[in-house]
Amino acid sequence: MKCCFYRYEMEKSLGYCWHLLRARRLKYFLGIEVAHSKQGIFISQQKYVTDLLKETGKTACKPASTPIDPNLRLEDVEKDATVDKEMYQRLVGRLIYVSHTQSDIAYAVSVISQFIDSPKEAQLQATYRVLQYLKGTPCKGIMLKRNGALVLEAYTDANYAGSIIDRKSTFGYCTFLGGNLVTWRSKKHNVVVRSSAEAEFRAMAQGV
């Protein structure tokens, strides 16, 4: 009841300065689709992904089963041709936005984001690989289920000296509230760790 009262008071105060319209149930906002059901709320970016595939000419591309090749070493491509920097940055930026509702591309996007200052052809192809993965998973998103038990859970992981250039590790974490995924991240450590244990502990620190 208090929440309803405060909301009413806020709307009344804002109404003195602006003409307000009471919005209907949210369905679409900044490229994010919101679907309501008895089970909960499902958010996705199917239209955004479809538009992105059209703009990049990847509508007819062959879908990939994973967003990145786990054996790919993008740091060791100095001999590759340089590609359009602004185009690469714009594409990576849009993929970062897609990762806000599709957590399974977070690691791949983290990797390709490391080369926005001087992108090479191999790194651009890795970016296209993410698009190929999205081509096969356009309806993926996040389901926020109705759940009375608001239990907070966090999971972390890290590799050790994963980069062949600076030997820095990459960490990742995800947080669940009431069984619903609410935060996630994949990023390279800012420092060089001295052991796999240190890499894991630093990942835990980021996760909490």
Domain chopping of the chain, boundaries: 25-146, 147-208
pLDDT for position 174? 93
State mean pLDDT over 35-60: 92
pLDDT for position 20? 72
pLDDT tops 60 at residue 1: no
Question: How many helical (H) and strand (E) elements, i.e. helices and strands, does the chain have?
Answer: 6, 7
How confident is the prediction for the chain on average, in pLDDT? 86
**Residues 169 and 159 sit within 8 Å (Cβ to Cβ):** yes
Beta bridge partners of 41: 36, 144
Backbone torsions φ then ψ of 64, nearest 5 degrees: -105, 150
pLDDT tops 80 at residue 73: no
Structure tokens at 205: 């620190």
- The residue that leads in pLDDT, 82 or 110, is 110
Lowest-confidence region among 90-99, 119-128, 160-169: 160-169
Share of the chain above pLDDT 90, in %: 41
**Residues 101 and 43 sit within 8 Å (Cβ to Cβ):** yes
For 107, the enclosing helix (H) or strand (E) is helix 106-112
Cα-based torsion angle of the residue sequence 93, 33, 137, 129 in order, rounded to the nearest 10 degrees:
-10
pLDDT for position 143? 92
Beta bridge partners of 40: 145
pLDDT tops 70 at residue 2: no
pLDDT for position 11? 78
- The residue that leads in pLDDT, 24 or 135, is 135
For 200, the enclosing helix (H) or strand (E) is helix 196-207
